[in-house]
């Protein structure tokens, strides 16, 4: 069982930055692929970014490419999402997730464990 706890969300203005963190339990964090997803009110959960177990491979959704950066620190069992130039349409609950098989993956169905989410609200 892996426990994930997101933090770093909040209320910001358009153009501001936030950094989300996802702290994971367990000794095998460095073997997991990981990802960030988000869900806005009334919408389906959508892919944001994914990172391989080593951190050497990353993929971001087109909607955030150039503005968001995913990274991880395996020594700290923590994954990050640096979000710059935030827009009102980025408003959502952001979830981190673990994929035991490792690798990068953009579909939610491929993830085994999920955090409870952190709210990000961007005002115009």
pLDDT for 1: 85
**29 contacts 52 by C-beta, under 8 angstroms:** no
**19 contacts 33 by C-beta, under 8 angstroms:** no
Please give the mean pLDDT across all residues of the chain: 96
> What does the alpha-carbon distance between residue 85 and residue 122 come to, in Å, rounded to a whole number?
10
Mean pLDDT (whole number) for 105-119: 97
Tell me the pLDDT tens digit for each residue of 23-82: 999 878 899 999 999 999 999 999 999 999 999 999 999 999 999 999 999 999 999 999
């Amino acid at each position: 069982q892996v426990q994930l706890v997101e933090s770093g969300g909040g209320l910001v203005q358009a153009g501001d930055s936030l950094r989300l963190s996802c702290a994971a339990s367990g000794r095998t964090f460095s073997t997991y692929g990981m990802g960030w997803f988000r869900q806005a009110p009334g919408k389906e959960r959508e892919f944001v970014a994914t990172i391989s177990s080593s951190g050497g491979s990353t993929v971001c959704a087109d909607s955030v490419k150039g503005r968001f950066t995913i990274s991880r620190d395996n020594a700290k069992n923590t994954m990050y999402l640096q979000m710059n130039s935030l827009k009102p349409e980025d408003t959502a609950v952001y979830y981190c997730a673990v994929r035991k098989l490792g690798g990068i993956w953009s579909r939610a169905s491929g993830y085994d464990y999920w955090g409870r989410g952190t709210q990000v609200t961007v005002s115009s």
